Structure 1
Amino acid sequence: MCTTKEKILLTSLKLFAQDGYEAVSISKISGELGMAKSALYKHYKNKRDIFDSILNRMDEMDCERARDYNMPNGDMDTIIKEYKQISIDKIRIYTEVQFKHWTEDEFSSLFRRMLTLEQYRNQEMADLYQKYLVSGPIAYMTDLFAGITGKTDEAGQLAIEFYGPIFLMYSLHDNKREGDDLMEMLKKHVDRFSKKIDRY
């Protein structure tokens, strides 16, 4: 059952994704919820407290997802060692899970839309957009591919070749036309890329 705190969090995120974080006031959030501001303040100190709780929720979801699918964890050396033992089927499944996380999960997709909207107006949002959706994933994959292939000079390019099409598919999903099968496209992309990595 959805608690009042969770309702406040999701309603706030919906408004942030629609109007932008800066444009949304506590009054607007409480009005959307049909509650007095004083009632909202019993759960969150202010708008920043709500936003910090959204960030915490995103990080918790990320950890839970990796744990649920038994993905490599720990320091980068351990992660690289474990990834070398993982089957392509497991990598494909987790890539699909990650894609659905950013496109179909209500909370995560709203978070992505909020960052996309706000990145041009707010430096903190621009930094978070990079962390969660651009430079963060690329940096992680660069280190991963460097360890897996031993080609440190090519690892950054490999990271872009793997992640770039997936990032583009987020936009394709947002403007999806009938008949588009992005999951099939994603599967083919992972399969093709795995064959390239196997050659190293």
Structure 2
Amino acid sequence: MDTKEKILQAALRLFAKDGYEGVSVRKIAEKLGITKGALYKHYKNKQDIFDSIVNRMEEIDAKRTKEFNSLIGNLNSQEQLTKQQIINGIKQFSIANFKYWTEDEFAANFRKILTLEQYRNPQMAKLLNKYLTNGVIKNAQVIMARIFVGTKYEHKDTNILALNYFGPIYLLMGLYDQSEDKASIEKAVVTHIDYFMESFG
């Protein structure tokens, strides 16, 4: 890992722990045992570091969006899929998404930064909305509309259904961070998904 990447990773961890506003360039440099001057050879300032974190996240998100679109494309084009196959695909994707935002160090720390800063930094609030609240709800609406085609729930409010589906999963992400028994939280995610799908079966 080169120095520039080490700076990025150290800053990410510190931002996730102390918040963006609570971390100075000096603190990042001290964490790495380098001088501020050495840090400035790689990044102009703290905002430049954060912008690089966001750019990295956008690259990762573009890949994950492609995977999501592929899933939706499969649901829409392969009419031979049974409802159970559709539900299983959505379940697998949802569990993978939960694990990504809680177990992947980069993604988990990025989520924590946004959560900490959302009420004092409009940029952070917008990013949280994009990646973990409204953005996810919009994706979930697409899924809900697909699941309930041809059922008595076909004309229900997909926004509310999406909130009912994703809300507990988002809450469980926060619980996962604080829990010593992370396996029980992961199990709760699976149980929630099963209960939700069964209630509309």
**Aligning the two structures, in what range does the TM-score lie when normalised by the shorter sequence?**
0.7 to 0.9
TM-align CA RMSD? 2.7
Counterpart-to-counterpart distance in 2, 1:87 and 1:6:
40
Gaps of 5+ in 1: none
Alpha-carbon displacement from aligned partner over 1:138-162 (angstroms, at most 9, x marks no partner): 1222244235535465100110111
Looking at secondary structure, tell me which structure has more helix per residue. Answer: 2
Matched, 1:11 2:10: yes
Q: Classify 1:17/1:83 alpha carbon distance in 2 versus 1 (closer, same or farther; 3 Å).
A: farther
Matched, 1:72 2:75: no
Q: Kindly indicate whether the alpha-carbon contact (under 8 Å) linking 1:72 and 1:83 is maintained by their aligned counterparts in 2.
A: no
Code of the residue aligned with 1:90 in structure 2: it is: G
Gaps of 5+ in 2: none
Code of the residue aligned with 2:33 in structure 1: it is: G
Partner of 1:106: 105
Q: Kindly indicate whether the alpha-carbon contact (under 8 Å) linking 1:80 and 1:148 is maintained by their aligned counterparts in 2.
A: no
Code of the residue aligned with 2:69 in structure 1: it is: P
Partner of 1:149: 148
* CA drift at 1:73: 3.6
Query: SS of 2:69's equivalent?
Result: coil
Q: Kindly indicate whether the alpha-carbon contact (under 8 Å) linking 1:11 and 1:29 is maintained by their aligned counterparts in 2.
A: yes
Q: Kindly indicate whether the alpha-carbon contact (under 8 Å) linking 1:119 and 1:125 is maintained by their aligned counterparts in 2.
A: yes
Q: Percent identity, please.
A: 43
Q: Classify 1:185/1:83 alpha carbon distance in 2 versus 1 (closer, same or farther; 3 Å).
A: farther
Q: Kindly indicate whether the alpha-carbon contact (under 8 Å) linking 1:101 and 1:108 is maintained by their aligned counterparts in 2.
A: yes
Matched, 1:187 2:190: yes
Code of the residue aligned with 1:162 in structure 2: it is: Y
Matched, 1:173 2:176: yes
Instruction: Determine which of 57, 76, 80 is the counterpart of 1:81.
Output: 76
Counterpart-to-counterpart distance in 1, 2:172 and 2:78:
24
Counterpart-to-counterpart distance in 1, 2:113 and 2:54:
12
Query: SS of 1:72's equivalent?
Result: helix
Matched positions, count? 193
Moved more, 135-144 or 96-105: 135-144
Matched, 1:28 2:23: no
* CA drift at 1:14: 1.2
Partner of 2:120: 121
* CA drift at 1:91: 2.5
Q: Kindly indicate whether the alpha-carbon contact (under 8 Å) linking 2:117 and 2:125 is maintained by their aligned counterparts in 1.
A: yes
Counterpart-to-counterpart distance in 1, 2:189 and 2:104:
17
Q: Classify 1:71/1:119 alpha carbon distance in 2 versus 1 (closer, same or farther; 3 Å).
A: closer
